[in-house]
Amino acid sequence: MLLSVSDLFKSYRGAEGAIPVINGVSFGVSKAETLALTGESGSGKSTLLHLIGGLDLPDSGVISVDGIDIAQLDDKGRANWRRTVTGVVFQQFNLIPSLDVADNIALQARMAGRQDRDWTAFLSERLGLRDHLRKYPESLSGGQQQRVAIARALAVRPKLVLADEPTGNLDEATADTVMTLMLDLVRETGAALVMVTHSERLAALMERRIHLRAGRLG
Amino acid sequence: MIRAVLGALWSHWRHNRLQLFTLVAGLALATALWSGVQAINSEARSSYAAAARTLGEGQYDQILRADGRPIAVDTYVQLRRAGWKVSPVIDGRVDGIRVIGVEPLTAPRSLGGVELDAFQAVGDSPPIFGQKAALDALGRGGVVRPDLAPDAVVTDISVAADLLAQTDPSRLLVLPDQRADLPEIDSIDNGLTRRVAQSGSDLSRLTDSFHMNLTAFGFLAFAVGLFIVHGAIGLAFEQRRPMVRTLRALGVPLRHLIVLMAAELLLIAVAAGAVGVVLGYFIAASLLPDVAATLRGLYGADVGNSLNLSPVWWVSGMAVSMGGTMVAAAGALWQISRMPLMAAGRRALAVQGRVRRRIEAICALCLLSLAAGLGVWGQGLIAGFGLLAALLIGGALALPPMIDLATKVGQKSAGSALSEWFWADTRQQLPSLSLALMALLLAMAANVGVSTMVSSFRLTFQGFLDQRLAAEGYVYADTEEQAKALQPWLSSRTDAVLPIQKVDIAVRGLPTEVYGPIDHETYRSNWTFLTATPTVWDDLHGGGGVVINEQLSRRSGLALGDVVPVGGRDFVVVGIYGDYGNPIGQAMIDAGDFAVLFPEAVPLRFGIRVADSALPDIFADLQSEFGLPVANMVNQAGIKSFSMGVFDRTFVVTAALNILTLAVAGFAILMSLLTLAGLRVPQLAPVWALGMTRRTLGRLELGRAVLLAVLTALFAVPLGLALAWALLSVVNVEAFGWKLPMFLFPQDYLRLIAQAVIAAMIAAAWPAWKLQRTAPADLLKVFANER
């Protein structure tokens, strides 16, 4: 088992006290497995993904990746873990606007000390970005920007790819293209993929799916 | 990892070069103004220090005659025979150059940087040492010594005696290792007085007020510059928030990120600081001649006209630049350190903004209340500076809520939909422009404050000169004999002669000049008092009264009606007068009382009352009959015009600093508007789409800048006046013991408002022009859906 989540709880403080968002969630993901996290808006999908990615901390429970409980790591340890183990694809792309496409793709791999020019060239080629490497994100379409984000996430050769509504900002045709490319590349790298989506159509492309309802597995 | 992160961070500046330019230019300007003023101050102070070294002040006690005349050679010989280790110095001016003659055999080993052995090294005639300019002016040749005081030369006493036509020593230096059983100097000559070595020179104390004001101005200019830096950093960090989040999400630890962002800013600060120090050098070099002329004219302080670059100055300039950057960036870095990894919603940010503005308004209220409290109850110089700081920071923080209020009123009273939108849009812009407006406020307040202070000083000084130089002419005798011969001659040729006689004694333990004026209408009709009995002159001349200056009153706690012993007799204080710029106490008693108490004092100076037209003939006759040099005869109109000329040089300095500070504030507005220009498009595109032309939008942008400048100016004038009041009535009194009356100069303030409006218009012109030329395609992008 690559990822093991057990008895996870998370709540946020609001004006009316603590608001529970994740209520005792447990599941696992094997190596190279693809998993869709589905649910209604506000069901806790994104929060769960952020917890798995070490972007936020749970109130209680265990998130273990390759035997390491990331909730027990300090800020520096979690940062190192995010840098080297995961690749994240956000709905809003989150590219660095002042870096060109090539630098954006290489950024995480360089930070992790794993830059492999052949691999990034391969990713650029496969994702159709070769002619756009010297362009800045603002001059790309939404679909192109998301492909840059996917390339950046995979350039580090992560064990676990986390994607939060990666096609939420794209039209259906572009979304399908991007999704297919991402799935193909994830499979080629042997990474596991956990993807948040509320699209039944996209969830069906994954090997397994779990559904969240009010912070519980439904 | 560090290289990759630094590369990503730096890419922001590469991509936003205007922002980088704003940051570097703001920092460079702030550093330039600060280090320029500091360079002038340090140059002047090093000149004073050199002068003090050259003249022996500060190092050795000195023996002088109380009446200011030279010490007879016989008296010097008697002192030496009695065992006093003293060394004679002849001191005077030739063609504006101070000539100091020392006696190498008895003088301390080193005086003014000239080793005594050097006096014997050159040929038959002892050499003259000095800076090249001084030696050239003297026209006698000599040995160049750059470390000597400007406009001064040091030479052997025999050469000085020859140059100055004076054989008696002007003063005697008292060497440190004296015997314990020496006779008192009074027993050898009771006209002698001993002045103890001082830790600072007289000049540095006299000019402290001037330098303090310059420093205050430099600091304000620096603060204005820091607003630009703060604005640029704030905007850059705001724009980089998503990048920071992404970098953190990609695995950069927060601490690394903060350290790298701080290091990046420090690198920029070093580069901008270097530019600023070089700019500061040019500012200082261009202002120094006027500052030197002011100091020479006001205080007789010789300051070199050329600027020396010291490593300390470079280092301090860089330190100020780096320190300023860190101060300006502290808030932004702190916010980054507290920023949650996942983005907060728009609503949360809006709430945060509202809370911040509320906190700022509360802080402004607290600081202005503190300033008011310190103004009423504060005591001491620290309270004075606290008042200045509270006033300025409180005023700056109060500006956005005040403008917000004004625009709210404008919006409510708007007659049309367009004007309602204009007011509402102006309010919306306020948070983004508030830093630049605060910079403008501080610049204008500093302008109003400093120009009010300087103009008040000028007006007061003018009145003071009218009072002190009431006689049409002044004549100075060189010797007592000459004075005795002059007085009856002058009486026969003029309407009245006013002998000016003075002794230096201690009153209540404080060094005081005591004068004995005769009873004459000149004093009665011209002299003004801060406070006095209704019959002050009658009380002075017939009733055992004394009038004292403000300095003596404040330092010794003397008030009207108090009894004070002068020269061994009790007098009642019947008047207190302003005596601007005088560092020591002064008192006046009746001429008859003066003659009884100080019979040895002989008046060497005379004021003469005569028709102005008769003065040239009288001066010509004095020259031919008594051989009086031209320098000993002064036309009061000449002195006044010279003194006012000195002030006009001072104005050149303050006017230049005024314009520079205003220019910095204008630059702050320009940069804010330029950086906002891109963000404005999404706000203006809907209005354009609803039917407004781009030209109208551009004009409204210009109008908005003018409106904000006027609102800021209206707030800046009272703040500046409060600043002037604090400087004149609190800080000056605490620091120097005298209070300057404050005058208002409405025309100056109107001109300043006009200048600020013009600066704002110039700053807004380019962004407005850019907006007018925004392509419709760019405006349409706002409505494009990328999905």
Average pLDDT over residues A57-80: 88
B243 part of contact set with chain A, CB < 8 Å: yes
> Binning pLDDT at 50, 70 and 90, where does residue A200 land?
confident
- Three-class secondary structure of residue B575 per DSSP: strand
Distance between CA A156 and CA A174 in Å, rounded?
A: 24
Q: Which residues contact B298 (CB under 8 A, 6 or more apart)?
A: B207, B210, B581, B646, B650
Of B678 and A39, the one with more pLDDT: A39
**List of residues 6+ apart from B243 with CB closer than 8 A:** A96, A97, A98, B8, B9, B12
Block residue for tokens 């630098």: A103
Residue A83 pLDDT: 86
> Quick one: how many helices (H) and strands (E) in chain A?
7, 10
Mean pLDDT score, A2-13: 90
Residue B370: enclosing H or E segment and its boundaries?
helix B346-377
CA B716/CA B710 separation, integer angstroms:
10
Give residues 767 to 786 of B whose Cβ lies within 8 Å of A.
786
CB atoms within 10 A of CB A206: 19
Contact: A103, B254; criterion CB under 8 Å:
no
Pick B5's closest partner by Cβ from A53, A82, A111.
A111
Angle at B463 between CA B459 and CA B466, to 5 degrees: 140
Beta bridge partners, B64, equal: B193
Residues of A with CB below 8 A from B16's CB? 98
CB atoms within 10 A of CB B337: 12
Residue A105 is predicted with a pLDDT of: 92
B439 within 8 A of B224, measured Cβ to Cβ: yes
Q: Following CA atoms A112, A116, A122, A128 in sequence, which dihedral angle do they give, to the nearest 10 degrees?
A: 50
Residues of A in contact with B246 (CB under 8 A): 94-96
Displacement of CA B117 from its chain's centroid (Å): 41
Closest CA to B220 of B743, B727, B757: B727
Q: Do A75 and B246 touch (CB under 8 A)?
A: no
Q: What are phi and psi of B334, to 5 degrees?
A: -65, -40
Strand partners, A15: none
Give me B357's structure tokens. 């503005």
Question: A79 to chain B, minimum CA–CA distance in Å?
Answer: 4
The tokens for A161 are 């790819």
Q: Residue B98 belongs to what H/E stretch?
A: strand B97-102
Q: Which pair of structure tokens corresponds to residue B495?
A: 């309407």
Three-state secondary-structure class, residue A198:
coil
**C-beta neighbour count of B184 within 10 angstroms:** 10
pLDDT for A115-146, tens place per residue?
A: 899 999 999 998 889 999 999 888 888 888 98
Chain A residues close to B251, C-beta within 8 Å: 79-84, 108, 111-112
> In this structure, is the dihedral angle defined by the CA atoms of residues B716, B718, B724 and B729, taken in order, positive or negative?
negative
By three-state DSSP, how is residue B84 classified? coil
Whether A76 and chain B come into contact, CB under 8 Å, resolves to yes
Closest CA to B206 of B57, B38, B94: B57
Burial of B24 (0-12, 13-18, 19+ CB in 10 A): buried
pLDDT score recorded for residue B574 = 95
Measured in angstroms, the CA of B361 and the nearest CA of chain A are apart by 25
d(CA A95, CA A148): 8
Which residues neighbour B689 within 8 Å (Cβ) at sequence distance 6 or greater? B779, B783
Nearest CA to CA, how far is B220 from chain A (Å)? 35
Query: Can you name the residues that pair with A12 across neighbouring β-strands?
Result: A19
Q: In 10 A of CB B311, how many CB atoms?
A: 7
Residue in A closest to B6 by C-alpha: A111
- Residue ranges of A 109-128 with Cβ closer than 8 A to chain B: 110-113
B318: its two tokens: 């860089």
Q: Where would I find the beta strands (DSSP E) of B686-730?
A: none
Residues 6+ apart with CB under 8 A from A106: A115, A120, A152, A155
Residue B203 pLDDT: 47
Place of tokens 């008011």: B372
Which two tokens mark B334?
């702190």
Q: Which two tokens stand for residue B510?
A: 């404080």
Residue among B3, B243, B251 minimizing CB distance to A108? B251
Nearest CA in chain B to A79: B251
Looking at residue B343, the DSSP 8-state letter turns out to be P
pLDDT reported for residue B160? 87
Give the count of beta carbons closer than 10 Å to the beta carbon of residue B648: 15
User: How far B256 CA lies from chain A's nearest CA (Å)?
Assistant: 9
Chain A positions in Cβ-Cβ contact with residue B14 (cut-off 8 Å)? 98
Specify the 3-state DSSP secondary structure of B622.
helix
- Nearest residue, CB atoms, B246 vs list A50, A94, A142: A94
Half-sphere exposure of B454 (CA within 13 A, CB side): 26
Instruction: Identify all chain B residues contacting A13, using CB atoms and an 8 Å cutoff.
Output: none
Predicted confidence at residue B779, as pLDDT, reads 65
Mean pLDDT of A102-107: 89
The pLDDT, as a whole number, for residue B627 is 79
What is the three-state SS of B491-543? HHHCCEEEEECEEEEEECCEEEEEECCCCCHHHHHHCCCCEECCCHHHHHHHC
Convert the pLDDT of each residue in B271-293 to its tens digit. Answer: 999 998 888 888 888 877 777 76
Is the separation of the CB atoms in A189 and A151 below 8 Å?
Answer: no
Confidence (pLDDT) at B124: 66
CA distances from B252 to A89, A203, B245, B248 (A): 16, 31, 9, 5
Pairwise CB contact (< 8 Å): B15 & A53: no
Distance CA B284, CA A103 (A): 45
Q: Record the tokens describing residue B45, joined without a space.
A: 């102070």
Number of neighbours of residue A139 by Cβ within 10 angstroms:
11
Rounded average pLDDT per 10-residue block, chain B, 787 residues: 87 84 84 80 68 58 74 90 88 77 76 60 72 81 74 84 86 82 83 64 53 68 73 77 86 89 91 89 79 60 62 81 86 82 54 74 91 84 82 90 90 80 84 80 82 77 74 84 88 90 82 88 86 92 90 86 89 88 81 90 88 86 81 74 64 71 73 68 72 81 87 91 86 71 86 83 82 72 49
Which residues lie closer than 8 Å to A170 by C-beta, 6 or more apart? A142, A143, A146, A178, B787
Contact by Cβ (8 Å): A51, A63: yes
Count of Cβ atoms closer than 10 Å to residue A6 Cβ: 14
Pairing between β-strand B128-130 and β-strand B143-144 as defined by DSSP bridges: parallel
Distance CA B726, CA B396 (A): 17
A 39-68 residues inside an 8 A Cβ radius of B: 50, 53, 55-56
Residue pair B684/B771 in contact (Cβ under 8 Å)? The answer is yes
> Tens digits of per-residue pLDDT, B444-469?
888 888 778 777 877 777 777 777 77
Flag if A76 and B253 touch (Cβ within 8 Å).
yes
Number of alpha helices (DSSP H) and beta strands (DSSP E) in chain B: 25, 21
Min Cα–Cα distance to chain A from B275, Å: 26
DSSP state of B568: T
CB of B551 within 8 A of CB of B576? Answer: no
What is the reported pLDDT for B55? 52
Q: Cα(B279)–Cα(B281) distance, rounded to whole angstroms?
A: 5
Q: Report which of B234, B668, B232, B722 is spatially closest to residue B437, judged by C-alpha positions.
A: B668
Q: Which residues pair with A29 in a beta bridge?
A: A3
> In chain A, what residues touch B249 (CB-CB under 8 Å)?
53, 55, 82, 88, 90, 94
Q: What is the 3-state secondary structure (H, E, C) of B463-496?
A: HHHHHHCCCCEEEECCCHHHHHHHHHHHHHHCCE
Contacts with A110 (C-beta within 8 Å, 6 or more apart), sequence order: B1, B3, B4
Measured between alpha carbons, how far is A53 from A49 in angstroms, rounded to an integer? 6
> Two tokens at B289?
């001649």
Q: Does B251 touch chain A (CB under 8 A)?
A: yes
B787 to A79: CB separation less than 8 angstroms, yes or no:
no
User: In whole angstroms, how large is the CA radius of gyration of chain A?
Assistant: 17
Please give the pLDDT value at position B29: 83
Measured CA distances, B216 to B200, B209, B221, B269, B391 (Å) = 21, 10, 9, 23, 14
The pLDDT > 70 percentage for chain A reads: 99
| Nearest Cβ partner for B786 among A112, A113, A142 | A142
pTM exceeding 0.90: no
How far apart, in Å, do the first and last CA atoms of chain B sit? Answer: 34
- Structural tokens at position B717: 């004038």
